[in-house]
Amino acid sequence: MKKSIFALSLAFLFVVNKLDAQSNPNWNNVFKNINKEVAANSNAYLSLKIATETIGHRLTGSANGKRAEQYAFDLLKSYGFTNLRFQPFEVESWSRGKIHVTIGADLQNQHDIKSVTLAHSPVNADVSLEVIDMGNGVEDDYIANPAKVNGKIALVYLGVLPNSKAGTPSLHRSEKTALATKYGAKGMIIINTAPNGVLLTGTASVTGKLIPIPAICVGKEDGLALREQLANGKLFSHITMNNFSGMIKARNVVATITGKSIPNEKVVIGGHLDSWDLATGAIDNGIGSFSVLDMARTFIKLKLNPARTVEFVMFMGEEEGLLGSRAYVKEAIKNKSIDQIRYMLNFDMTNDPKGYSTSAEDSKDLISGIGAIAHSIDTSFTNLFRVGAGLHSDNQPFMLQGVPTGGAAGGGLPKNAGPCYHADCDVFSLVEENGMKNTVRFGSMLLYGIADATEIKSKHFTDEETKNFLLKNNLKEPLQIAGEWRWKD
């Protein structure tokens, strides 16, 4: 027993000594104040409720999107921000029009099938073609017979089908559409993974620009029934649609707190404010972006001024191809402030976190140390730690420039909201206030700890280090499909 206690004591001292090299002894009091303030005065839930009721969806380029930008700006101003700006960027906006899809054993005997247009489909389309089952829609499904879908409509499953080969990648819908186009498909039908006929929207473009073929989503039950029919015979589909596309202006919203001792180093924290237009985007990404807005409120209310500069960013255009975060990074590269960004924290559909995540393994001591203090304040925060990397959210443009990225980990969506991703059921009634409060308080602690750390061991990767990092995380293939792999082997 004595030996065990002695060993534990040594372990504790080792952790404390390790944390002392990076942390500040005042963090415990700061984190307690954050916890108390958010518990008593958080405005995340209420402000999101008001936004969903008064604005509705927040589609980039729409009148609603513009209202959302102004709402976020005015909210931050009301919290007391004076260093506050819009960051305008020009974007090719897309919005849906009408769609009609029929399907049958031949082109004369067709029946309607419920469907929704995937974003960046052509402005006008009218195709009547044979439908070919392409399984998961990954490269292996085409290689065996490269001409199989040429001049036809590809039917693919959004995720990975049961009993698929081990290691089958789960590509994004835009990457599956790009592959179908590469092999000559003239149309795309994607089967949703959510049950009960839920339809999913989202971009089918890897570039954020119009794709050459019409792409639609059908419900899981309808789509799997089509696969069964194709196993026994042919199917043909008639897809007609019209949509809008044109150049418009959108705006990120940026609020800044200048660092007290290392102002030329910066931590960016953001979440995408925009949403798709089928519902109000309460989960995607209301719970993330409005939590970040409340973290900003908390910093101002408590007069928190960490060593490094902090920028709170509401990104627009994420849903249409990470357009706002790409614009932010493009500007940062141009004015060379990209070198000042020590960390980017992204909150996308984040709810009730139990730990923290990072792309940088050498941040473990710092981030776990922050989490240890959070755990001491509230043991429901278990201080889970995850290392990894992913695409298709606003962390991506930063990560591709070698910036360490991170955020929350271990949470879960409220009220079984997963099936409503990008769907017409993504409404405010799914949101839980306590989950948002937890995102705000634990997210604020993470932000303050990183921004105030004596040392951040994670450095910007060089270009070669970035390449190796992406290879290690199996991101070469999706980046190649998207045309974003800039390295030559």
**Which strand (E) or helix (H) includes residue 392?**
none
Helix axes 63-79, 44-54, angle to 10 degrees: 150
Predicted local confidence at residue 23, as pLDDT: 63
**How many angstroms separate the CA atoms of 229 and 234, rounded?**
8
Structural domains of the chain sorted by starting position, each given as residue range(s) with its CATH number in brackets = 24-83+258-458 (3.40.630.10), 98-243 (3.50.30.30)
Q: Are 81 and 101 in contact (CB under 8 A)?
A: no
- Concatenated DSSP letters for 416-479? G-GGGTTSTT--GGG--HHHHHHHHHHHHHHHHHHHH-S-----PPPHHHHHHHHHHTT-HHHH
**How many angstroms separate the CA atoms of 16 and 23, rounded?**
10
Which residue blocks in 214-363 are alpha helix, DSSP H? 220-230, 287-301, 323-334
Length of the chain: 489
Predicted local confidence at residue 22, as pLDDT: 60
Task: Look up the pTM and report it.
Answer: 0.90
Coil/strand/helix, residue 128? strand
Coil/strand/helix, residue 173? helix
Predicted local confidence at residue 2, as pLDDT: 38
**How many angstroms separate the CA atoms of 142 and 182, rounded?**
10
Give the other-Cβ count within 10 Å of 25's Cβ: 8
| Weakly modelled stretches of the chain, pLDDT under 50 | 1-21
- Concatenated DSSP letters for 20-82? HTT--TTHHHHHHHHHHHHHHH--HHHHHHHHHHHT----TTSHHHHHHHHHHHHHHHHHT-S
Q: What would the two tokens of residue 219 be?
A: 């419900």
Give the other-Cβ count within 10 Å of 188's Cβ: 29
pLDDT one-digit tens code per residue, 189-231:
999 999 999 999 999 999 888 999 999 999 999 999 999 999 9
Which residue in 338, 337, 357, 339 sits closest to 347, CA to CA? 357
Predicted local confidence at residue 92, as pLDDT: 76
